[in-house]
Chain A
């Protein structure tokens, strides 16, 4: 495949990862931070940006590691452990780098960066990339799209939760309960995109 066609495919995969195959609302990955950190718009914004950045970077790193280390050695089954190590190491290094070079950004993202290590959307995106046999360029589109989709979903949820009037919600449903119901209704509406740009 030539580069032009690949870039085009990467674009299609990117858009479909944002809407059609939204990693949060279609695959329900990364739900814990989605519920835990969506109470305020400001924090949701910070976490969302961090996810876009880390997700895009780690799928690329994991692609390289898988193609040039695991495949030649025939150790594909090892990918779970390796991917987790790479993600954790990458998050640690970026945290250190950001702290060193941009204290402002570090303050904004500081709390959320370590949290991302255990965000299953990050590992999930890397595993999907292996299953679907994406090329490197397409992987970039996939990572960027998945991250953006997650960002969009958590921003919408944060906006909704800020408007929510808590005092009238049944007591047992306040907090995570109603958040899960909202997430379900959001997923219901996102089903409408099924079939738009089915890029795999």
Chain B
């Protein structure tokens, strides 16, 4: 570490005012900050009322995602590491470009997006699509709005939504069958060329034909699906960590899960042969992953507690509707993006109600 520190210190003058590579100061800064703790304090949104800074906040999310990463590698093989590398490389170069133009340090915000994005991709998706999706999400979904803390929509979801609509065939045909046996796919590198492993059937797609994968498989994660979403167990482990450290707000999560389960149970009760049981739907697809890791993003969600309840209910209800009544197999991406759209106005409604109550009382 000391040697590294010396190297970093030694090349510093080249990047400072008047140095040869001054234009690349943001890149240098990012590397330095990634390796060593910076002495500066965050001054821009997202703020949290806690003694942790933005970076620690992001690190918590990454730690919470590790169980999902582990199950992803276990069930879908080493190619997932390639997805992460490509996602970081593409996203960071776009981010660095914007930072150089803006002449500011590269923001830590991307570290979470770059980690979340491969987790919501089908495991056998072509690598260029990962790069394209993450670049689209970062540029259109975040940088144009002013960068980290100012985005209105979750950049990872913007990227995924874009890919799902622009390349529907590749997206829905890139699922992998999870590895069988004790070793899973731990030491395998499986991509789209392996015809035996590729499938187009996720549990939710099969359910449209009336075939339900067993709940225990979905709970452990040995089913096909996006890399990070299949294992309910891993998501719950990471999600609980986020809730206990208060990085994620429990109101949003509770509201999504309650509204989703209630509506799904009602539909199942009304027509058991047409709609699957609520608990099955809860574990299927990306709902849990979205509820714990996507919807709880403090930047794109509402600020008020009342707003969070409404926001969660909207996401839960829309997910059930899209899953059961449209041609789309999964609706979590769309539902959370819709939640992002309506988050500001939900906050305003809560404010207006509070003001009115104050007026009546005062």
- Same complex for A and B? Answer yes
Q: Hey, what's the 0/1 contact readout for B165-195 against A, CB within 8 Å counting as 1?
A: 1000000000000000000000000000000
Q: Per a CB cutoff under 8 Å, which of B144, B147, B162 touches A181?
A: B144
Q: Chain A contacts of B70 at CB under 8 A? A: none
Q: Hey, what's the 0/1 contact readout for A172-200 against B, CB within 8 Å counting as 1?
A: 01000010011001101111111111000
Query: Which residues of B from 91 to 108 have beta carbons under 8 Å from A?
Result: none
The verdict on A160 contacting chain B, using a C-beta distance below 8 Å, is: yes
Tell whether A170 pairs with B141 under 8 Å between CB atoms, given A155-B345, A190-B338: no
A23 to B261, CA, bound (A): 31
- Do B165 and A188 touch (CB < 8 A)? yes
The verdict on B153 contacting chain A, using a C-beta distance below 8 Å, is: yes
A182 to B337, CA, bound (A): 12
Stretch at the interface among A27-35, A68-76, A108-116, A161-169: A161-169
Give chain A nearest CB distance to B291 CB in angstroms.
17
Query: Which residues of B from 76 to 92 have beta carbons under 8 Å from A?
Result: none
The verdict on A17 contacting chain B, using a C-beta distance below 8 Å, is: no
Q: Chain B contacts of A195 at CB under 8 A? A: 325-328
Query: Which residues of B from 299 to 336 have beta carbons under 8 Å from A?
Result: 318, 321-322, 325-328, 331, 333-335
Q: Chain A contacts of B335 at CB under 8 A? A: 192
Tell whether A192 pairs with B326 under 8 Å between CB atoms, given A156-B342, A159-B348, A165-B150: yes
The B interface, classified by DSSP as helix, strand, loop or mixed, is: helix
A160 to B338, CA, bound (A): 12
Q: Chain A contacts of B344 at CB under 8 A? A: 156, 159-160, 162-163
A188 to B322, CA, bound (A): 14
The verdict on B218 contacting chain A, using a C-beta distance below 8 Å, is: no
The verdict on A41 contacting chain B, using a C-beta distance below 8 Å, is: yes
- Do B337 and A196 touch (CB < 8 A)? no
Give chain B nearest CB distance to A89 CB in angstroms.
34
The verdict on A55 contacting chain B, using a C-beta distance below 8 Å, is: no
- Do A189 and B325 touch (CB < 8 A)? no
Tell whether A192 pairs with B334 under 8 Å between CB atoms, given A160-B152, A163-B152, A186-B341: yes
Q: Per a CB cutoff under 8 Å, which of B327, B341, B343 touches A189?
A: B341
Give chain A nearest CB distance to B7 CB in angstroms.
33
The verdict on B36 contacting chain A, using a C-beta distance below 8 Å, is: no
Chain A contributes a number of interface residues (CB within 8 A of B) equal to 30
A162 to B348, CA, bound (A): 10
- Do B158 and A168 touch (CB < 8 A)? no
Q: Chain B contacts of A194 at CB under 8 A? A: 326-328
- Do A173 and B161 touch (CB < 8 A)? no
Give chain A nearest CB distance to B155 CB in angstroms.
11
A168 to B103, CA, bound (A): 13
Tell whether A170 pairs with B144 under 8 Å between CB atoms, given A41-B348, A159-B344: yes
A164 to B45, CA, bound (A): 12
A22 to B347, CA, bound (A): 23
Q: Chain B contacts of A156 at CB under 8 A? A: 341-342, 344-345
Q: Chain A contacts of B342 at CB under 8 A? A: 156, 159
Q: Per a CB cutoff under 8 Å, which of B150, B326, B345 touches A158?
A: B345
Tell whether A181 pairs with B146 under 8 Å between CB atoms, given A162-B344, A189-B341, A195-B326: no
A50 to B161, CA, bound (A): 33
- Do B145 and A164 touch (CB < 8 A)? yes
- Do A182 and B322 touch (CB < 8 A)? no
Give chain A nearest CB distance to B101 CB in angstroms.
9
Give chain B nearest CB distance to A160 CB in angstroms.
5
The verdict on B220 contacting chain A, using a C-beta distance below 8 Å, is: no
- Do B322 and A168 touch (CB < 8 A)? no
**Interface, chain B (partner A; CB < 8 A):** 140-141, 144-147, 150, 152-153, 158, 161-162, 165, 318, 321-322, 325-328, 331, 333-335, 337-338, 340-348
26 contacts between A and B (CB under 8 A): A156-B344, A159-B342, A159-B344, A159-B346, A159-B348, A160-B152, A160-B341, A160-B344, A164-B145, A165-B146, A178-B144, A181-B144, A185-B337, A186-B341, A188-B158, A188-B161, A189-B334, A191-B334, A192-B322, A192-B335, A192-B338, A193-B322, A194-B326, A195-B325, A195-B328, A196-B325
Q: Ordered nearest first, which 3 A-B pairs have the shortest CB separation?
A: A192-B334, A168-B146, A159-B345
